[in-house]
Structure 1
């Protein structure tokens, strides 16, 4: 499925090429250079601030094209042994730092290699090997004799700027890592080797991830002949299938079965056994492709895009401005809804009663029918509640214009969400579609009625605590299962200053492939822009309808557990009624009893869906990675982003049934065991006392595990976060892509005043440097911005010049003591324009969510701790060590014998 037409050109369809075309030699560009962390420039203020001590020195710049064993960005003596000889053939994949050293062009398909130190393709001689047993990285632990408090690490690794958005370059025929990213690009050959890995063996899957225009997924139409597939395992034709006997047969890469090639698909082979037309066919040369599905892939005609709005109109929704903003946003997006002219739309509002709206095209104004009896709701106008938008456009616009005024004086405080859900599913049962729920208070009437819980501090840190993070009433899970069966995807928008039980409401989204958007204490003047953006993106982004997803693995490997928002229809089939480009999933793999004797392990993800244009398609992502016999190879080829993506989902799921402390400890133990296993590989040969040993690929694992433990879904305490905030954050983390998750865990910290003042003086700075996340860098005479992909937090020092504050926020804010409801709007001066240009640039990097900017002044009780210091993951917190203490603690635990 292609991204929205507003952002990208339409997909290119590939015609059937002639059978005599020779193969081509693709030569993708080398990966972009990796940026390194650097300290901020000196202050540009008139009075320079005093020097601020730092917990850790910055990264030392590595030499260009350093040897693979050298640690990129950390200080300390190199290993005593000589570096291994360079490889004789180019390698691709593995860690970004390792890829940076590979500057040779990609070889033709007959000579390609996979992922780091992968074995060659079948039939190609392997490059001369080299001993990697001595390739490790280390940090020194220093301390004064007898003073444990002075123990510290020489240099602390931190993510380089923009590292969250970079991906490793895929092998010539692998799908791009933005779609499918393994936790390690080397699969263990035995159960014993897999057991020593300790970290998750799995992948993060983002099947509909947005791509640049030049990297759009190609669309292939086989016409009436049908898609070529393996007749046994049903794997789709892909670049790793081998053709034999003059192209009349192909051997499936997944199950190794020899299949007949359809007569109209036969093509002659070249002297290397490759099809002569392979490079002209996307399905034989690219790892990602969209197949146009023939009729046999449909159990009913393709459904049209359906958007149904279930809106709370109680007094809380009206007074806070939610109803007005929702109605205005929906109206502004009517022309952008995908699927015109097939799109259908419907509305139902509720408080203590249900309000149905007839939107027949023959009407000049919508007709409202109020149903006061909510115990057994029925449909008063079953044929007119869901209409074609193009036919009833004027009636729909009239309803959206009149909704705020109809309920402007509503004083009803009740909420009959459960009965409204039952009525809505009856309306949508024939077609399915996307259901958007706007809920501003706790459901209080009829089925699905909820009660206040978790308001007592003594519940936390007890066995009763996990119950606060799951649905209280089984009604919501049963309703989610019903919606999934009816092809209804649910997105929940929750607003309230008081308890709304997001844990229960979010169950509707969890099992239908939807999302949860939470706006605590919604205020239209401050939060309206964020709601407008989030709702607009939800309505206008391209969506895959009535979708199912299946993962196929090569011989000897099997899927074990799936994580994310979906309904598991069978052991391996994920039901996704409405999935979009912002949803990611993860899966864990396990080894079967059969031995892995081949050189490569194959994986294929297939998403069968209906596009908004009404075309049934199958998006297929295929990848191959080497099967290895050495644990050191697995560590060398580890992918930190995928590892953290799987670990975060494991931790959130464990928190639903266990204490938060145990969920954090679960991830901590996996990390320590993995580092201990890695250290043991060198303990005999090298004296490693006083050093932290780790692979280059996982140098940031301790930092991200610490950040995960301090994240909102996992950090503990009654006063630290409300149950609704914790549940909403957990639902969001379960669907995040790898770039969004890494940004959330380790936000960017920028000194704003230096950057803006330097630019105004002609400094020409394009991007401000990123600072370590510690309160020690917060200068009272400066202004700082943190960006975690969810929001911006503008921190103003106590002695920051009032003229600077007035320039970027307005003169009325310069001396204001209450900044909670201050809207951040552009002022008519150069500083303010540069400030908003910076925010726009950062927002562009994370399009799925609007980053609202909130302002906090130094010393502001409560808000500073919640919004600023909660992001300082390198500092000591309540029950959490600092980054330095964390590394020392990990070192001691790794040294312990078990």
Structure 2
């Protein structure tokens, strides 16, 4: 193994403008290098003195971490993660000089190589962490009990069983052991929070959330309103129970009294509210069923675009599928239709009429409906009438060059739902350029404005309209067929604040775009959602809720969140802060109560409860944390913060967290050159660096404001699995052998770095918002023939493709894997082919999160180097 030459003549670079942002005190020694930033000094690699840095993994066996000294000739690391080379020490700054040899990276690439000579391949690896977790848990059963241990990762396929604690499918906590003292929590800089996905679907082999009648359930706390759960403790032979949320005793009515045996009621196994962490109550009162309202843009520009006919055909096809036989029959669903330009056109679809009647509303300032009857009709009664109207829409004679804004259609749709006193989905098909209202800020003012949050804040008119939609339970979904990357308004503020979304298309001319629209429309129409949602949070009296984050409009009370609609993928984050010291014997109880109206109009209440341990040892808090949960929490919380300070704040939080762990866990035997990380937080640095340099926070040259707003809105609603996959994509090598005997699986991923891509290989790259197939320039011709039906690399064209259907193992296995990945995504993903060396490789480079990114983000190795340097400085 070769070693780089060591040069001791390194001089410290001149002071940088950002160097004053250091959190160090005056008594600390001056920094040996600038604080991390995406701008780094132009260091000469030959002018560095380096020392070996070993990687130390902390285990749960004791308080003392186990370190592993590094020897270049050592071939086996005995299951311990490989050590990391040590930081650079600047002797002219008064720090001790130590210089030894450092292994260089075997791959010479400017984007992969560390500026400080670190070998990226020996740094803590997300791929290795996921692999080890799968070895431990895959195919097994994780029992979720009160004060249970750290659960398996969200990417691990294992069965989750509820035995008193809501499973990680519904709730994941940033730590499963909260500090007893508030001072310990502040010093650790580890956020105390929970990620809740209230309507998550159970996997195969897991039990559904049990449903019980409201009258059959044991009533909860009469003082604070918390629902019955295993967190309640019984006293006086079952005559009273103690509420951990308000610390008060409750008398049990004689009608529901049962004796206790060893502190548990004798009927606890028969009642889910007494034995399970998750259950659902079916309320006696019912509301109106949700409706489906369609709004189609028929302005002159929409007519000229030539897409209106195809849009109407796809809508008609979807309505016909809803009226199909068997389980797909939803013919009782009430459906409405309206069209708009600068006016609103309503349609009376009553079957009593010989033909549909159209009503035109020209005064849209004070919107009033002429009639309500006939605007929403069961699909089975109006399907033929709807098809007739959809066929004739393209024959309309629109007003010349007068387009309506998307807010006009939202206001009209909301008015229909309000007069009908019903929740529902509003699907808007907008084909004209998205207009910019009078209150909307221009895109050019985002980066030059002193109001640093304006890029993520919608105009007041949109926020006000979204609040009305939330009150009514109106979920807005917009399909945009005239997407503008630059200029104009972004139409997504209202949809994302109402549980909907925005899907943009360049055009519907290509077959793949038409197929994507068909799949998106089907997904949107058929997705089951909860409407008129209210999420209440209860926590032990010693703590309070200090923040709630996600895709919703924050209210005055962080304990209660209101949403127009909620699907099974959406997750929210809540942060907890101490009021006083916790009781170590009782732990911490957290309860989420979701009240909603189902699509059929049933009023339901779903309860999720977890009981966590409390510890006086700060190390227990670190040992009970997981990197992917922390990443999800930081994503939801940080994207609500001012943009200018966000990247540095993230870095400071992680630095102080690692410094605190080092203080608590290290002894004098641990040298300053050893990187010390908690066992379950080894992936935190690479995750946080990926978040810091994402396009949302660090735009590239080709990043538009619309793209960043869209990306941000999608990320803040993601669950833990999707968030982790978004910031560390899955890279799967495909077999290129002649027999193709070994097909790829989801467990055979490689690291997200260009050094992992062999020019003679094929790689499938997946994240929730992208699906790429990278083809190396040296792929054997027989492999190209089996997958693309061509044996020449030059015949391949980068861009969206659809793989040909070929009868060989490589083609069959690859298409099955692509189909599996597409089905797990929240949006319809089109496969994009990327040839090695093509200009479109930039879309791939953004996903190689361990490398330097095209937008100027630091590599994982450089970022970890700076974290280590700054953490050491804080320990001094």
Deviation, 1:673, is: 0.7
Q: SS at 1:826's partner residue?
A: coil
For 2:764 and 2:385, the matched residues in 1 are separated by 45
CA contact (8 A) 1:637 1:697 kept: yes
For 2:232 and 2:124, the matched residues in 1 are separated by 45
CA contact (8 A) 2:180 2:614 kept: yes
1:223-243 superposed Cα distances (whole Å, 9 cap, x missing partner): 546651111011111112122
Indicate the residue corresponding to 1:791 in structure 2.
770
> Given the superposition, is the C-alpha separation of residues 723 and 149 from structure 1 closer, same or farther in structure 2, using an over 3 Å criterion?
same
RMSD of the TM alignment (CA)? 3.6
Q: Does 1:680 align with 2:677?
A: no
Deviation, 1:792, is: 1.1
For 1:391 and 1:895, the matched residues in 2 are separated by 72
CA contact (8 A) 1:440 1:500 kept: no
1:296-355 superposed Cα distances (whole Å, 9 cap, x missing partner): xxxxx4120112122334545853577257525532542489994652221222234433
1:150 to 117, 135, 145: 117
> Given the superposition, is the C-alpha separation of residues 202 and 355 from structure 1 closer, same or farther in structure 2, using an over 3 Å criterion?
same
Deviation, 1:813, is: 9.6
Indicate the residue corresponding to 1:184 in structure 2.
175
Indicate the residue corresponding to 2:14 in structure 1.
none
Task: Using the TM superposition, name which of 240-249 and 275-284 deviates more.
Answer: 240-249
For 2:515 and 2:64, the matched residues in 1 are separated by 47
Indicate the residue corresponding to 1:653 in structure 2.
640
Indicate the residue corresponding to 1:259 in structure 2.
250
CA contact (8 A) 2:320 2:383 kept: no
Deviation, 1:816, is: 4.6
1:281 to 246, 266, 271: 271
1:201 to 185, 188, 192: 192
The 5 A counterparts of 1:87-126 are none
Q: SS at 1:868's partner residue?
A: helix
The 5 A counterparts of 1:434-445 are 434-444=425-435
Indicate the residue corresponding to 1:667 in structure 2.
650
Indicate the residue corresponding to 2:48 in structure 1.
none
Indicate the residue corresponding to 1:555 in structure 2.
541
Unaligned runs of 5+ in 2: 1-53, 72-78, 89-98, 103-114, 135-152
For 2:342 and 2:635, the matched residues in 1 are separated by 39
Deviation, 1:512, is: 2.4
Deviation, 1:455, is: 4.8
The 5 A counterparts of 1:62-81 are none
Task: Using the TM superposition, name which of 218-227 and 551-560 deviates more.
Answer: 218-227
For 1:465 and 1:512, the matched residues in 2 are separated by 24
Indicate the residue corresponding to 2:462 in structure 1.
476
Indicate the residue corresponding to 2:597 in structure 1.
610
1:331 to 307, 319, 328: 319
CA contact (8 A) 1:218 1:282 kept: no
Indicate the residue corresponding to 2:28 in structure 1.
none
Unaligned runs of 5+ in 1: 1-58, 79-100, 102-134, 296-300
Deviation, 1:476, is: 0.9
Indicate the residue corresponding to 1:47 in structure 2.
none
Deviation, 1:475, is: 1.3
The 5 A counterparts of 1:103-502 are 139-141=84-86, 145=100, 149-152=116-119, 154-159=122-127, 160-161=130-131, 163-166=153-156, 172-212=163-203, 214-222=205-213, 224=215, 228-270=219-261, 272-295=262-285, 301-314=286-299, 315=301, 318-319=305-306, 323-324=311-312, 326-328=314-316, 330-335=318-323, 340=330, 342-363=332-353, 365-371=355-361, 374-403=364-393, 405-406=394-395, 414-429=403-418, 430-444=421-435, 448=437, 453-455=442-444, 460=447, 463=450, 466-471=453-458, 473-499=459-485
Q: SS at 1:490's partner residue?
A: strand
Number of paired residues?
A: 758
CA contact (8 A) 1:600 1:627 kept: yes
> Given the superposition, is the C-alpha separation of residues 460 and 797 from structure 1 closer, same or farther in structure 2, using an over 3 Å criterion?
farther
CA contact (8 A) 2:777 2:793 kept: no
> Given the superposition, is the C-alpha separation of residues 310 and 746 from structure 1 closer, same or farther in structure 2, using an over 3 Å criterion?
same
Indicate the residue corresponding to 2:826 in structure 1.
848
1:36-59 superposed Cα distances (whole Å, 9 cap, x missing partner): xxxxxxxxxxxxxxxxxxxxxxx9
> Given the superposition, is the C-alpha separation of residues 897 and 325 from structure 1 closer, same or farther in structure 2, using an over 3 Å criterion?
farther
For 1:767 and 1:568, the matched residues in 2 are separated by 38
For 1:806 and 1:864, the matched residues in 2 are separated by 23
CA contact (8 A) 2:64 2:667 kept: no
For 1:69 and 1:171, the matched residues in 2 are separated by 31
CA contact (8 A) 1:509 1:565 kept: no
Indicate the residue corresponding to 1:700 in structure 2.
683
Q: SS at 2:631's partner residue?
A: helix
Task: Using the TM superposition, name which of 365-374 and 581-590 deviates more.
Answer: 365-374
The 5 A counterparts of 1:749-898 are 749-754=731-736, 757=737, 760-763=739-742, 769-801=748-780, 804-811=783-790, 815-816=794-795, 818-827=797-806, 829-844=808-823, 846-861=824-839, 863-865=840-842, 867-877=843-853, 878-897=855-874
For 2:168 and 2:329, the matched residues in 1 are separated by 29
Q: SS at 1:280's partner residue?
A: coil
> Given the superposition, is the C-alpha separation of residues 816 and 681 from structure 1 closer, same or farther in structure 2, using an over 3 Å criterion?
same
Deviation, 1:549, is: 0.8
Q: SS at 1:771's partner residue?
A: coil
Q: SS at 1:239's partner residue?
A: coil
Deviation, 1:548, is: 0.8
Indicate the residue corresponding to 1:689 in structure 2.
672
For 2:670 and 2:745, the matched residues in 1 are separated by 45
> Given the superposition, is the C-alpha separation of residues 217 and 852 from structure 1 closer, same or farther in structure 2, using an over 3 Å criterion?
same
1:269-313 superposed Cα distances (whole Å, 9 cap, x missing partner): 22x132122122211111000012244xxxxx4120112122334
Deviation, 1:479, is: 0.8
TM (norm. structure 2) is 0.79
For 2:614 and 2:658, the matched residues in 1 are separated by 22
Q: SS at 2:427's partner residue?
A: strand
TM (norm. structure 1) is 0.77
Q: Does 1:724 align with 2:712?
A: no
Q: SS at 2:640's partner residue?
A: helix
Task: Using the TM superposition, name which of 152-161 and 596-605 deviates more.
Answer: 152-161
2:570 to 583, 595, 598: 583
